């Protein structure tokens, strides 16, 4: 039985003081939650959010990590800088990074390996664009993204990764994939992990859905057999909405 994982991707929102306030409200709401709860603020907010969540069941994730250990990479953050302050997870390959910041399947793979060897738990994002869905290449697209993201990663490490299936057309648009569509693609992703690492790894790995998941639709999405959680953008910025999603994960 896979433990569900609800992660809030705060994107480029909240100042450090606002982030600390939101984190405190989430800690209060999530006490004793029956699923894993993660919040991913901007880098500058990480220390304050780690402080607010310390001693609670809420874990903290970063929104990106560089693939080198140190050196002349202006503006970047290495895995050990994040673990040193108490960060546990990191989002890798979010579609916004792929779209606006030149992230490729190759850099997603490098970052995933760097995160794992640095002791972070990666949340690796994959998902098709609207054109890819309309052209009938959804399955092919996400399979390629998964295979390339996991290149050179052994089974023990692979099982630690969380995969977030986020159809690009559903992110921040208010258009959610239907629970059936989301479950189908999460199942295809699970099958890809099975072909790479075997059935037991496929049964262990956690696959989230992301893309306009909210307080109203979370329960249905989270009731599907292949959906083990959510990566939530907009709705994670409101403590009460996020709490409804956490509660839905506990019950489904
Ligand atoms: P959204 O974002 O919930 O605002 O659609 C999800 C994400 O980008 O992770």
Domain locations in the chain as residue ranges: 5-251
- Give the pLDDT confidence score for residue 123 in this predicted structure: 99
Ligand 1 atom with least separation from CA of 125:
9
- Give the pLDDT confidence score for residue 102 in this predicted structure: 97
- Measured in angstroms, how far is the CA atom of residue 212 from the centroid of ligand 1? 6
Q: Cα separation of 211 and 171, whole Å?
A: 4
Q: Which two tokens stand for residue 186?
A: 């999460």
Q: Cα separation of 43 and 81, whole Å?
A: 11
Q: Cα separation of 195 and 5, whole Å?
A: 24
Q: Which residues line ligand 1 (CB under 6 A)?
A: 9, 166, 171-172, 210-213, 231-235
- Does the pTM surpass 0.95? The reply is yes
- Measured in angstroms, how far is the CA atom of residue 174 from the centroid of ligand 1? 9
Closest Cα partner for 3 from 33, 39, 30? 33
Return the sign of the alpha-carbon dihedral for residues 54, 60, 66, 67: positive
- Give the pLDDT confidence score for residue 240 in this predicted structure: 98
Q: Cα separation of 210 and 66, whole Å?
A: 23
Closest Cα partner for 43 from 86, 17, 77, 73? 77
> 59, 66, 94, 132: which is the annotated catalytic residue?
94
Q: Cα separation of 177 and 88, whole Å?
A: 29
Q: Cα separation of 231 and 126, whole Å?
A: 12
Question: In CATH terms, is domain 5-251 a member of 3.20.20.70?
Answer: yes
SS3 for 65? coil
Q: Judge whether 241 and 213 are in contact, CB under 8 Å.
A: no
Ligand 1 pocket, mutate which of 91, 98, 163, 210 (most atoms under 8 A from CB): 210
- Give the pLDDT confidence score for residue 29 in this predicted structure: 98
Residue 38: CB atoms within 10 A of its CB come to 24
Ligand 1 pocket, mutate which of 130, 217, 231 (most atoms under 8 A from CB): 231
Neighbouring-strand partners of residue 90: 62, 122
- Give the pLDDT confidence score for residue 175 in this predicted structure: 85
Q: Which two tokens stand for residue 155?
A: 């089974």
Per-residue pLDDT of the chain (252 residues; tens, 9 = 90+): 899 999 999 999 999 999 999 999 999 999 999 999 999 999 999 999 999 999 999 999 999 999 999 999 999 999 999 999 999 999 999 999 999 999 999 999 999 999 999 999 999 999 999 999 999 999 999 999 999 999 999 999 999 999 999 999 999 888 888 999 999 999 999 999 999 999 999 999 999 999 999 999 999 999 999 999 999 999 999 999 999 999 999 998
Question: What b/e string do you get for 210-230 counting C-beta neighbours within 10 Å, with b at 16 or more?
Answer: bbbbbbebbbbbbebebbbbb
Q: Which two tokens stand for residue 237?
A: 């910025």
């Amino acid at each position: 039985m896979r433990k569900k994982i609800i992660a809030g991707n705060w994107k480029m929102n909240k100042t450090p003081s606002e982030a600390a306030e939101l984190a405190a409200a989430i800690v209060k709401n999530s006490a004793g939650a029956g699923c894993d709860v993660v919040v991913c603020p901007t880098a500058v907010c990480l220390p304050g959010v780690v402080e607010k969540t310390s001693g609670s069941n809420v874990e903290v994730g970063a929104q990106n990590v560089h693939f080198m250990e140190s050196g002349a990479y202006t503006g970047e953050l290495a895995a050990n800088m994040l673990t040193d302050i108490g960060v546990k997870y990191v989002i890798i390959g979010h579609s916004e990074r792929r779209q606006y910041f030149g992230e490729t399947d190759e850099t997603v793979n490098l970052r995933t390996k760097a995160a794992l060897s640095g002791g972070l738990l990666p949340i690796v994002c994959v998902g098709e664009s609207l054109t890819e869905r309309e052209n009938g290449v959804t399955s092919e697209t996400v399979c390629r993204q998964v295979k390339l993201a996991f290149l050179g990663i052994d089974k023990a490490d692979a099982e630690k990764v969380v995969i977030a299936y986020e159809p690009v057309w559903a992110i921040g648009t208010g258009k959610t994939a239907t629970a059936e569509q989301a479950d189908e693609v999460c199942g295809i992703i699970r099958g890809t992990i099975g072909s790479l690492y075997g059935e037991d790894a496929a049964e262990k790995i956690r696959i989230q859905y992301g893309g306009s998941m909210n307080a109203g639709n979370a329960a249905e999405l989270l009731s599907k057999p292949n959906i083990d959680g959510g990566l939530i953008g907009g709705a994670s910025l409101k403590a009460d909405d996020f709490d409804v999603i956490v509660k839905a994960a506990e019950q489904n």
